[in-house]
Structure 1
Amino acid sequence: MYRSHNCGELNASHINQEVTIAGWVQKSRDKGFMVWVDLRDRYGITQLIFDEQRTDKTVFEKAKSLGREFVIQVKGTVIEREAKNKNMATGDIEILVTEMTLLNAALTPPFTIEDETDGGEDIRMKYRYLDIRRNPVKNSLLFRHKVAMEVRKYLSDLDFCEVETPYLIKSTPEGARDFVVPSRMNAGQFYALPQSPQTFKQLLMVGGMDKYFQIVKCFRDEDLRADRQPEFTQIDCEMAFVEQEDILNVFEGLTRHLLKEIKGIDVAEFPRMTYDYAMKTYGNDKPDIRFDMRFCPLIPEGGTFEPKGFPVFDDSEIVLAINVEGCANFTRKQLDELTDWVKRPQVGAKGLVYVRYNEDGTLKSSVDKFFNEAVLKTWAEKCKAKSGDLLLILSGETNKTRTQLSALRMEMATRLGLRKPEVFAPLWVVDFPLLEWDEDSNRFHAMHHPFTSPKPEDIKLLETEPGKVRANAYDMVLNGNEIGGGSIRIHDRELQSKMFSLLGFTPEQAEEQFGFLMNAFQFGAPPHGGLAFGLDRLVAILGGQETIRDFIAFPKNNSGRDVMIDAPSVIDGSQLNELHIKIDFTS
């Protein structure tokens, strides 16, 4: 056998035992008459000692030639270490080597395989298999495994059944762009890779499976960012004979279970917030509630700004402030820098108004020549500001201003250290609009997806005021990130047909795209609903990170490329011919 023990388990209880271990050379120290080697595997590091007096001469000479990342097997006796290392699990012992086998030599790695490496992101992505040997990446993958196992355990204990659904499915026009796969056997026809197993899990409910889950790979051909990859993993779930409350309770329970088992944290509160309240109070539908800074409207909704005289406010639909506690001591330089920050194209504000509520009780603003101190005092009272606080104010068109102030709120929280990764603040956002109007296509689009059921009490509005219909939908938010979303589904063919009609489908198009689902509804579809968590994002947040790449074994870069295997790539012309694809590179 290659090893009797791994490199992380030996301790003082093994002294005088003969053992065999194998792994990679982390580093070696040659003192001439003695060589020490740190041998590493997934489980830890064990120090080896090669002694000119006690080690076979041939073995001793081999030890002097070992390089970093050489793969070796050694046999020897566990002995007590003279200079113990309290920072290592194996720091009380070392192995006096009697035999060594070189299993594989190694080139010098392009970056150091250490916790703190000298390798940049690009080079580490290219040699990802080396990067995985480093503890931060290795531990992130082990952490992901632990989370996935806890998910499976929790759901299985509640009688959920894991069922695999197809990867080669039909392309649909709704949602993000599909990755398409040409069919060799069906000329000119294409499969799509699933953006989610949505219709299949609904069909499983029609099939009577009752409680389904799947940790499943999904695909979207869209632009990337820190928390998005073209292929991603969902914890996908569906339940039959349930209402919204049933689903919220189950997955609130799952989240509590993960926080307890993975982080050792008991969550006291799990608030619920309507979409409308979230947008008006935080400017987005996934608010971070680890800190306050709620929006304070300085114009009553539907009203006008008083007193008049400052054109920027007079011409605005909305004037909003946030109260940044304890920041009245911000310097003019800091405030000017914040003004430049909100003017960036990524935010798009035209400017920033500030009011300092000084410790002596006086108020000083950037608009003193338009508003006296009495007016500033009323603003401070509206925003519940006190001495030492700072008001930051934006104005303009309602939706844009809310989005801009939301970005500023998050930026201030980051600068002030309020987004603490060790603090977890989950919540549900509910009562989303069912539909949203798109000016470019001049039609409604489903805010979640076409299979989301409207609130029962709003169904009557579908004919007269579809834009006011609320969805029976919900999102799970954790620390300002949407980690999951779902809805109660439509299970009635007539209502589903009406939904397709509102989305601009002709009856023929609806039948072509989704006839299989509507036909299934005619054979006794139960009321059902579900939810999908984004596993990559959930694991990253539980791991205290904003980006998901280190929790994915082989991620893509920002261009959607796998630089390690150089994909996507051009394929051979003969393959294109087999797939009945002709590409004109001249056009």
Structure 2
Amino acid sequence: MEQYKRSHTCGELTAAQAGERVTLNGWVHRNRNHGGVHFINLRDRYGITQVVIDEDASADLRDTAESLKYEYCIAVEGTVRRRPDSMVNTDMTTGEVEIQADTIVVLTTCETLPFMIDERSETNEDLRLKYRYLDLRSFSMQRKIKLRADVSYRVREYLGTEGFLEIETPTMIRSTPEGARDFLIPSRLNPGSFYAMPQSPQLFKQILMVSGFDKYFQLAHCFRDEDLRGDRQPEHTQVDIEMSFVDQDDIFRLIEGLMEHVFKHTLNIDLKTPFPRISYDDAMNLYGSDKPDLRFDMEMQDFNAHVPGSGFGVFESVVENGGAVKVLVAPGAAGYSRKQITDLEETAKTYGAKGLAWTKVSEEGTLEGGIGKFFTDSSEKILSELSASPGDLLLFVADSWKVSCTALGAVRKRLGSELELVEKGGATPSHFAFAWIVDFPLFEYDEEGEKWEAAHHMFTMPQAKYLDSMENDPGAVKGALYDLVCNGIELASGSIRIHDPRLQQRIFDIVGFNKEEAERRFGFLMNAFRYGAPPHGGIAPGLDRLVMLMSGESTIREVMAFPKNTQGINPMDDSPSPVDPAQLKELGLELKLPDRE
């Protein structure tokens, strides 16, 4: 192999190397025989170079060229020469040149491919995951994996210049409640005891603050046993950050600087900072989501004031019982068919709504169809206040405030795509609409369990103005919580933490976490807080979601080298898989599997 070791990659040769003798290594991307002249596109992760075997080449060389199939791994020796002007390919970095080959060595052959690598997007995902090593050869995947590596590098670069230390925390820890199920690891040396794989490094990074490391970060692997979707995997990576002696504004400035640095040095995009700040209540009222897509306007509006006296009993009943009627003006959508509106209604019902009412604005500027007849007398005032125009479609949800906002917000999101309100293609600052969502509720009530729960996690600092009244009205308490969102995706979540053990115990008491349970689960953290814990806070941008966003994909599986499928299975290595009974015996475990029909 030493004799045929590459001198250049398949993506770097230009007219400047014309006349030079070179050796290339790579995979056969195309092989075309044009009347005795072979054109071979040789590919590696850097690009493609055209290799030519002329008619006057030796019979052995031409026979070798004829035998080459897709994805054979080969070495080529030859001379760089300029292509004729009529054959220059301006779409390729190497498009000005080709290699006049005099030697081809087959390094390894390739069996019949399960799918064509440059047609991966048309291939079933499970098949691509089964042969992930082939899928990863595609330029699409190599571009995204390179982007991920570049983003990781720039994250480390920026945080390093800001004085942060990268510190690893354990991946085998004590099980602690963090919102999802833990992945458990049985201990052979301690029968009956288990490690948990961390859902996040939350407790350890807080302990690092107690330890005096005031600026910590880590590209942390996190593990959650939860149902999967496009932006979830059993394991994911987050840019875990914690800082001492800071407030919320310090963290915002750091993350805005980090995003500016990453986007500039990977996509050459200049982001506009500071990012806007939107309260949780405003986000829900206006967009129906705590992660709103701000690339288009179409804000939801309150309709309660127009309901009394309308004669529409459904709306009147909701308002009388303290609920909310929300309305959305869909621009130019009056042409929607009844079936299209029914499809939108199904979206609303998915989020708890009992239905989706509608009416249209006629060309004459009146309400027609649907529930419009109930508001004929006040139509002029309604259209003025809603800024609705002829040709618009008005959509309504009437329910509790939370359901009305969430259900109509889901309809808004769908319409943003259907009405093409989001600009498509390219990557410019306008394609990335960042915002901070702030002033989240600290607690939420579990109707089924009839108790208060932490809305985020139990270590979040209440805002100062609620400290004296928390126990009296937990539902009113806002936390020092914040999310970074972009294009309808939650990119990061964080908070200022509690560092006072007495305040922490008050939070435990409100959520029904008694002292014995708190000591059992979090004793090591509470003990650390007794030894001069500094005020601190942090945040954790999701690396997978960030790269997914930057690459224009809709699932994090597309930006991970070896993801699991939607059933949590890796088709390539068939994990998870049964283990040898002897291994279970060593661990003192017996399996009791559910009965299968």
Please tell me the TM-score bracket, short chain as reference. over 0.9
Match of 1:452 among 451, 460, 466: 460
Q: Look up the match of 1:295.
A: 300
Match of 1:250 among 254, 260, 269: 254
Letter of the 2:450 counterpart: N
Q: Look up the match of 1:128.
A: 132
What does residue range 271-290 of structure 1 map to in structure 2 within 5 Å? 271-290=276-295
Q: Look up the match of 1:60.
A: 62
Letter of the 2:389 counterpart: K
For the residue of structure 1 that corresponds to 2:266, the secondary structure is helix
How far apart, in 2, do the equivalents of 1:380 and 1:19 lie?
Answer: 72
How far apart, in 2, do the equivalents of 1:362 and 1:341 lie?
Answer: 23
Count, aligned residues = 579
The runs of at least 4 consecutive aligned structure 1 residues that moved more than 6 Å come to: none
Matched, 1:94 2:102: no
For the residue of structure 1 that corresponds to 2:541, the secondary structure is strand
Letter of the 2:20 counterpart: Q
**Cα pair 1:217 1:231 within 8 Å, conserved:** yes
User: What is the alpha-carbon root mean square deviation over aligned residues?
Assistant: 1.8
How far apart, in 2, do the equivalents of 1:352 and 1:510 lie?
Answer: 45
Q: Look up the match of 1:325.
A: 331
Q: Look up the match of 2:436.
A: 428
Q: Look up the match of 2:197.
A: 193
Matched, 1:437 2:445: yes
How far apart, in 2, do the equivalents of 1:347 and 1:500 lie?
Answer: 31
Matched, 1:408 2:411: yes
Could you tell me how far 1:551 is from its partner in structure 2? 0.7
Q: Any idea what the Cα deviations from partners look like across 1:223-251, whole Å, max 9, x if unmatched? A: 01111111111010000011111111111
Q: Look up the match of 2:386.
A: 383
Letter of the 1:203 counterpart: I
TM-score when normalising by structure 1 = 0.95
Could you tell me how far 1:348 is from its partner in structure 2? 4.5
Matched, 1:525 2:527: no
Could you tell me how far 1:501 is from its partner in structure 2? 2.0
Letter of the 1:539 counterpart: V
Q: Look up the match of 2:28.
A: 25
How far apart, in 2, do the equivalents of 1:456 and 1:156 lie?
Answer: 32
Q: Any idea what the Cα deviations from partners look like across 1:320-373, whole Å, max 9, x if unmatched? A: 111122333x14x2x44222331355244333332322333333231244332x
Could you tell me how far 1:449 is from its partner in structure 2? 0.8
Could you tell me how far 1:269 is from its partner in structure 2? 5.4
1:336–1:56 distance in 2 versus 1, CA, 3 Å: closer
Q: Any idea what the Cα deviations from partners look like across 1:378-421, whole Å, max 9, x if unmatched? A: 22122122334332122123221211100111111111112335
For the residue of structure 2 that corresponds to 1:370, the secondary structure is helix
Letter of the 1:21 counterpart: L
Letter of the 1:292 counterpart: D
Letter of the 1:319 counterpart: V
Q: Look up the match of 2:308.
A: 306
For the residue of structure 2 that corresponds to 1:461, the secondary structure is coil
How far apart, in 1, do the equivalents of 2:136 and 2:373 lie?
Answer: 60
How far apart, in 2, do the equivalents of 1:281 and 1:260 lie?
Answer: 31
Q: Look up the match of 1:38.
A: 41
1:339–1:199 distance in 2 versus 1, CA, 3 Å: same
Matched, 1:362 2:370: no
Match of 1:261 among 261, 265, 285: 265
Match of 1:464 among 459, 472, 479: 472
Name whichever of 432-441 and 308-317 sits farther off: 308-317
Higher helix fraction: Structure 1 or Structure 2? 2
Match of 2:237 among 217, 224, 233: 233
Q: Look up the match of 1:72.
A: 74
Could you tell me how far 1:437 is from its partner in structure 2? 1.2
Could you tell me how far 1:190 is from its partner in structure 2? 0.6
1:165–1:92 distance in 2 versus 1, CA, 3 Å: same
How far apart, in 1, do the equivalents of 2:266 and 2:6 lie?
Answer: 31
Q: Look up the match of 2:151.
A: 147
**Cα pair 2:120 2:135 within 8 Å, conserved:** no
**Cα pair 2:310 2:375 within 8 Å, conserved:** no
Q: Look up the match of 1:551.
A: 559
Letter of the 1:251 counterpart: I
1:116–1:197 distance in 2 versus 1, CA, 3 Å: closer
Could you tell me how far 1:448 is from its partner in structure 2? 1.1
Name whichever of 201-210 and 92-101 sits farther off: 92-101
How far apart, in 1, do the equivalents of 2:36 and 2:286 lie?
Answer: 71
**Cα pair 2:120 2:128 within 8 Å, conserved:** no
**Cα pair 2:351 2:403 within 8 Å, conserved:** no
Q: Any idea what the Cα deviations from partners look like across 1:119-165, whole Å, max 9, x if unmatched? A: 22221111111011111111111111111112111111111111111
**Cα pair 1:342 1:404 within 8 Å, conserved:** no
How far apart, in 1, do the equivalents of 2:67 and 2:264 lie?
Answer: 49
Match of 1:482 among 487, 490, 493: 490
Could you tell me how far 1:268 is from its partner in structure 2? 5.3
For the residue of structure 2 that corresponds to 1:323, the secondary structure is strand
How far apart, in 2, do the equivalents of 1:505 and 1:161 lie?
Answer: 34
Could you tell me how far 1:32 is from its partner in structure 2? 5.3
**Cα pair 1:112 1:118 within 8 Å, conserved:** no
How far apart, in 1, do the equivalents of 2:316 and 2:519 lie?
Answer: 52
How far apart, in 1, do the equivalents of 2:122 and 2:326 lie?
Answer: 45
For the residue of structure 1 that corresponds to 2:537, the secondary structure is strand
How far apart, in 2, do the equivalents of 1:463 and 1:371 lie?
Answer: 44
Letter of the 1:529 counterpart: G
**Cα pair 1:178 1:193 within 8 Å, conserved:** yes
How far apart, in 1, do the equivalents of 2:273 and 2:174 lie?
Answer: 44
1:399–1:524 distance in 2 versus 1, CA, 3 Å: same
Letter of the 1:309 counterpart: G
How far apart, in 2, do the equivalents of 1:385 and 1:93 lie?
Answer: 59
1:525–1:200 distance in 2 versus 1, CA, 3 Å: same
For the residue of structure 2 that corresponds to 1:232, the secondary structure is strand
Letter of the 1:171 counterpart: S
Name whichever of 142-151 and 338-347 sits farther off: 338-347
Name whichever of 182-191 and 145-154 sits farther off: 145-154
Could you tell me how far 1:260 is from its partner in structure 2? 3.1
1:548–1:176 distance in 2 versus 1, CA, 3 Å: same
For the residue of structure 2 that corresponds to 1:114, the secondary structure is helix
Q: Any idea what the Cα deviations from partners look like across 1:157-187, whole Å, max 9, x if unmatched? A: 1111111111001111341111111111110
Q: Any idea what the Cα deviations from partners look like across 1:75-118, whole Å, max 9, x if unmatched? A: 11112223222222112211122222211111011111115654
Structure 1 unaligned regions, length at least 5:
none
Residue identity (%): 46
TM-score when normalising by structure 2 = 0.93
How far apart, in 2, do the equivalents of 1:367 and 1:117 lie?
Answer: 44
Letter of the 2:456 counterpart: H
